[in-house]
Amino acid sequence: MDEQNRWERDEEGNQSNHAESVEADSVAWRDIFEAEERTPERADITEEYSELGATAERKLQERTNALNALKRASELFVGLPDGVDDSIQTYVSELPQWFRRSETIEAKIRVGDDAFETDGFHPTTDSLAAKTRTRIGTSVSMTVVCTDQHPGTGRRAWTGTERELVEALVSLIKSEVDRWEIDSLKRLSDGVAVLDSDLRYTYVNQQAEELLGKDSEELRDEYVWDVFPEVADTIAEDRIQTALETQSLTSFEQYNAEKEQWVEARIHPGDEGVIIVFTDITDSKVAERELDHVLETTPIGIVLLNAEGEITRANSRAEALLGLSRYKMDRKGYDHPDWDIWDEAGNPIPQKDHPVTRVCRTGETIQGFTHGITLPDGSERWLSSNVAPVKSQNGSLEQIIIALEDITVPKRLEQLIETFHPVDEVLNSATASEETEQAICELLTETREYQYARISEHTPGTALTQSNMRECSKGVAAKDSVSLPIQSRTEIGPAEVAVETGEIQVVRRNQPDSRFERWRAYTLDQGFQGGAIVPLEHRGRVYGLLVLYTDRGAAFGDREQTLLATLGDRIGQVLHSLATERMLHTDRVAELTFESTDSASFFVSASEELGCTIDIMETIPASDEMLVHYASVQDASLDALSDIAENAEWAAQLRQISHTEDPPGGEVEIGLHRRSLAQTLLTEGAVVTTDTVTDGRAEVVCEVPLGHDISSLVTRVQDSFPETTLVSKREYTPSAKSNAHAVGRALGDIFETELTDRQQQVLRAAMYSGYFQSPRQSTATEIAEALSLTQSTVSYHLRKAQQTLFERLFDRLQQ
């Protein structure tokens, strides 16, 4: 209340006679003003001073002009409810008439940054000027010039009266501007504090008093850091100094724990100090916290931009997606050159096509804008952006909201599937392994996914050597700048693991593996972000290794590895088919005969125990571990054989297909876990022609293409069944076949190259289980149980296999 009374007293003083307010500048003006009131007619004054002559007359005229100038100023300026701009503009145009030789006088009045002048005003070397400042630091000045300078001296002699008039007018205008500014500040809901160039308080309004907790009289002329030492060396001091040094608007926020109040301070610098405007932002801070809570619990990235396209807010998810902290994103424009975004072809997105640009231009929401982005650490990510405008009531753009979703994984999978699709087409038409491998590498490196690819050959069953991993013509780089690494020393370790386990091996920048640290270091030295070795496997045999390198930061994740493993199996199947076809068409073969008494073989053990003969007609892989054998048994009860099969040592599954009583025997289906000599030979790529076991002695005859590593094959067989001996080896050239044999070979070719693995398995099982006999000895349901399939799946594969066999056969016969 005291402060209110004080402001009222100040205003009463301001609204009193302004001629009196100028008294401190020139007492003479009051005397003249009073004399004018006492003297009703100017003729009397002239008569009173007539004896003074021309000089006295001139001085009287000067004072009369000055008096009129002050009276006019009082009319225009005193007690104005609004700004003084219009009054000053009027007054400056009239001002020359109150000076000697008014026709050559020009004037200029400046209030703050606003200047008002007569049309012919221009600075001269001899001007009449006065300058002062309001309580809040606004500069007020007046300059009067004469365009026709006094002859002889080149300068115009200004009278004392004219000098006093200018000073009095500046003081009067300053007083009115001061009153108007103070009145304006009183009406503000914000707090206002004015500091001079020495950072001493010159003015504080009532709202600022409440926020600062101190009376204006306590603050007047006090040094800001003496009054508030607790905020020295804080952001407040830093921002005030910055504003003074740069002469630019700045601000800061501060929390008052005692009052539980947030205050924003906006600092407006000037030549003579600063004006600080305080705003209570507690409510907005509460709303801001609520918004932050919503943003932080949102699983997608949210970025808010102002109307100028500058980032004002981002949640934690956006930080993670864009690879930048909120601090570094603050006020960063969406079109800043640091943002590296590109389309699906890898080309930079032009600014005109940027979704924010389009939203600013059209005011319409954009959804599902897909683009890639290179993060500051060099990694890449795919994002889907929804961009929406926020408009004010008058339709102008206030804010832009961007919602970001990480679609890197599905996008990468989509690209990988697109990459692998043409590879699959090459595999479907493959006729030669070397050309197929070269084409695969070229296709893989034609995309953005891989910058280097090669296929290294491997002979199943042999030890992996450095020569297997050497660079060869099959290596392909996506760009000339990518070197073709010869990595035998760094790749041999993970390659051995890939062959041994049949699983893909990878290294990545952000996932070091101590087992492959040398390989990882070499990969990074070559400029890649990751490397992979994919085994090309089929039926447990590795035919080669696909080696890939990429500069993608987030490469070889779990889903990509799954796709690559599937691709590796498909390539392995084709390489197996090509190898089998070469074997079927080779000019010379090696026939190997093995004898074994090793009881680790189920058939050797059962034959010895029952004193019977078992002829294995076919072996079919039902799964990675389970093998289904179709065998003919002579001189033994099938029930007795079943009892042995059910023994815990073998855990075999036996089903009788047909049986005889005299002599005892029949045909059976036996499921075993890799416990037969024939199965080992098949795994090594041999074609078994005879597999008979009598009284515990097995004789197995197989064929392999000449040139096959026979010593390695024998070693692998003896490793599995030590009591096994290679008793003979014969090389021969298959004789020319008759037309009937030609048809049989054609069917064999079609069977190996046109049917899938599962179709081959089902067809073999149906054949040797008596499914095609009449009456049938096995049903589709029984075959399905043996192969761990459904009855409908078995029926489908049977029909499809028969259709493919005969369609391809008739096509060849008609050629």
DSSP code per residue over 191-235: EEEEEETT-BEEEE-HHHHHHHTS-HHHHBT-BHHHH-GGGTTSH
Rounded Cα distance, 641 and 664, in Å: 11
Architecture category of domain 284-406 in CATH: 2-Layer Sandwich (3.30)
For 188-280, CATH number out of 3.40.50.10860, 3.30.1440.10, 3.30.450.20, 3.40.50.620 equals: 3.30.450.20
Q: What is the DSSP string of 585-605?
A: T-S-EEEEEEEE--TTSHHHH
Regarding the domain delimited by 737-815, which CATH topology (the fold level of the hierarchy) does it fall under?
Arc Repressor Mutant, subunit A (1.10.10)
Residues of the chain with pLDDT under 50: 1-43, 45, 49, 153-154, 473, 736-738
**β-sheet bridge partners, residue 196:** 273
Any idea where the domains of the chain sit in the sequence? 11-177, 188-280, 284-406, 411-584, 585-734, 737-815
pLDDT, residue 723, reads: 93
Nearest to 691 by CA among 592, 611, 614, 620: 614
CB atoms within 10 A of CB 591: 15
Rounded Cα distance, 773 and 779, in Å: 11
Rounded Cα distance, 751 and 553, in Å: 44
* Strand ranges inside 458-556, DSSP E: 476-477, 505-508, 530-538, 541-550
Rounded Cα distance, 665 and 641, in Å: 10
Give the list of residues 6+ apart from residue 484 with CB closer than 8 angstroms, or none. Answer: 452, 454, 471, 475, 477
pLDDT, residue 303, reads: 92
Rounded Cα distance, 459 and 711, in Å: 13
Secondary structure of 737-767 as H, E, C letters = CCHHHHHHHHHHHHHHHHCCHHHHHHHHHHH
Alpha carbon 636 to its chain centroid, in Å, reads 71
Is the four-CA dihedral 219, 222, 227, 231 of positive or negative sign? positive
- The two tokens of residue 607 are 């034959």
pLDDT, residue 243, reads: 85
Longest C-alpha distance within the chain, in Å? 173
Nearest to 68 by CA among 97, 88, 45: 97
* HSE-CB of 712 using CA atoms within 13 angstroms: 14
Rounded Cα distance, 131 and 158, in Å: 17
Residue 574 Rama label (left phi>0; alpha psi -120 to 50; beta): alpha
Give the list of residues 6+ apart from residue 393 with CB closer than 8 angstroms, or none. Answer: none
Which helix or strand (DSSP H or E) is residue 715 part of? Answer: helix 710-720
Rounded Cα distance, 452 and 446, in Å: 10
- The two tokens of residue 210 are 């409440």
Nearest to 67 by CA among 43, 94, 100, 33: 33
Rounded Cα distance, 636 and 428, in Å: 47
**β-sheet bridge partners, residue 653:** 671
| Phi, then psi, of 679 in degrees rounded to 5 | -65, -40
Task: Evaluate whether 284-406 and 411-584 have a shared fold.
Answer: yes
Q: Between β-strands 697-705 and 201-204, what pairing exists: parallel, antiparallel or unpaired? A: unpaired
Rounded Cα distance, 289 and 113, in Å: 40
Regarding the domain delimited by 411-584, which CATH topology (the fold level of the hierarchy) does it fall under?
Beta-Lactamase (3.30.450)
Asked if residue 223 lies in contact with residue 232, where contact means CB atoms within 8 angstroms, the answer is no
Asked if residue 677 lies in contact with residue 697, where contact means CB atoms within 8 angstroms, the answer is no
